[in-house]
Amino acid sequence: MAGDFGRVNAPRAAGSGGPVVYILAPQFPWPPMDGGRIGICYRIRELARLGYRIHLFATAKVDEPVAERTPLHDWCAPVTVVRRRAGLDALWAWLSFRPYQVTSRDVPALRPALRSRHATEPADVVQCEHSSMGAFRDVDLDGPVRWVLTFHNIEHRGAWNRARSAWKAPLRALLYAVEAVRLWRYETALVRSGRFDAWLFVSARERDEIERWVGDGRTIFATVPSGSDVPPVLPDGRGPSHELLFLGSLWYDPNVHGLEWFLRQVWPRVRAAEPLARLLVVGRGAISRVYRLVRDAAGATLVGEVPEIDSWVARAAAVIVPVRRGAGIKIKLLEALARGSVCICTSHALVGLELPEEPVALVADEPGAFAAHCVAALRGEPGARATAQRGREWVEAAYSWDVVGRRLDAVYRQLLGRAPLVPR
């Protein structure tokens, strides 16, 4: 979600400053409006703040608009964008029996761009964001370059879940299943190749799983999660509110599936207890299924994409995260907690997070219990507000972008065998 992105000084001239890091991204990460882009964008910002010199290489669709001036251009030295294959080239690439997620982003022009940049300002670290960008590990760069790959998700599992959810459309389900098999073969070969110096994961659970696959004591395995900026503490002027807020990309299957479960099984119970309750559904890319679900639910409104979330979170009694499938970390949960909101979620929404002993959210997996938490938040019960305060403190201590940046810095220092770039 869009927010206050912050600014850093423009990177120092080549040949000065900290180590040089090439970031290889499957999409241009601006604006940071979904989980993948948010993670890439803010890690770049934090690395720039710590003194690293960042070179961004990103792919983009043929017709995708890419702004020539963004905060990324302040945080990075050069920004290089290459266009993906189109038309028959894309079809031919897919027929190569490699995953579409890989072939669509394996743009030949990116390889000479990497070599050319390395000839003028050699990389110390090359970080591939998402497993699809691991295809560029075949680029030979002179010198002691360390290669890092970040798993934002285990992609073959996500493709398989999409195949299962598309069972009413057999052809679509078959294509997703084929993609899942191809991704499983690709990701298995990738992690067993022994060609990466470090593997980074946003979720500790996924890190442990892949580490068991590999069993290689020479490679660094580290959890570097996604996070959230923590706004300054504001006066607690939250009055009574009849609104609940759903945040998320409205094309993403786990979000749509969770919203459907909530509207069909939880929302009627909430409305029975609190007839004035309203649900605001905020996010971009709503598919027709979302329009139908919201239209048929009394008291629900589809807001769509918004330029910022702070005002929407501030006006709501609680943010709901009813996801029941999907991987990675639920950034919308961290963003809401960072803003002092009561969060009501399923246990699945917390998977992969390093949780404190005291609860930071109201958690339920059954419709009745989830509805009871919503009613408690709508009525402003003290127990609900207490979780919000603990949640904000927890995000600030463990998942603020400053903390996440320093965790990534620690991995780089281990790779490069050097002292911290900034005093601690």
409 in the same domain as 384:
no
Alpha-carbon separation of residue 196 from 84, 117, 137, 208 (angstroms): 25, 20, 8, 17
Helix (H) or strand (E) segment spanning residue 394: helix 382-398
Average pLDDT estimate for 393-413: 95
Tally the C-alpha atoms within 13 A of residue 102's C-alpha that lie toward its C-beta.
22
Q: What is the pLDDT of residues 15-65, one digit of tens each?
A: 346 899 999 999 999 998 888 899 999 999 999 999 999 999 999 988 888
Q: How confident is the model at residue 93 (pLDDT cuts 50, 70, 90)?
A: low
Q: Looking at the domain assignment, is residue 33 inside a domain?
A: yes
168 in the same domain as 55:
yes
Number of domains the chain contains: 2
252 in the same domain as 105:
no
Q: Which two tokens stand for residue 87?
A: 């038309």
Contacts of 268 (CB under 8 A, 6+ apart): none
Looking up tokens 């072939």 gives 103
Neighbours of 337 (CB within 10 A): 29
* Residue 84: burial class (beta carbons within 10 Å; 0-12, 13-18, 19+): buried
| pLDDT of 14 higher than 70 | no
Q: What is the pLDDT of residues 233-260, one digit of tens each?
A: 655 555 678 999 999 989 888 899 999 9
Is residue 84 a contact partner of residue 31, using CB atoms and an 8 Å limit? no
How far, in Å, CA of 284 to CA of 294, rounded? 14
Q: Looking at the domain assignment, is residue 232 inside a domain?
A: no
Partners of 397 in the beta sheet?
Answer: none
Query: pLDDT at position 204, please?
Result: 85
| pLDDT of 4 higher than 60 | no
- Closest by CA to 244, choosing from 282, 216, 215, 198, is 282
CATH code of the domain containing 41:
3.40.50.2000
Q: What is the pLDDT of residues 345-365, one digit of tens each?
A: 999 999 888 899 999 999 999
- Closest by CA to 380, choosing from 281, 277, 267, is 277
Would you give the distance in Å from CA 75 to the centre of its chain? 19
Range of the domain at 383: 243-398
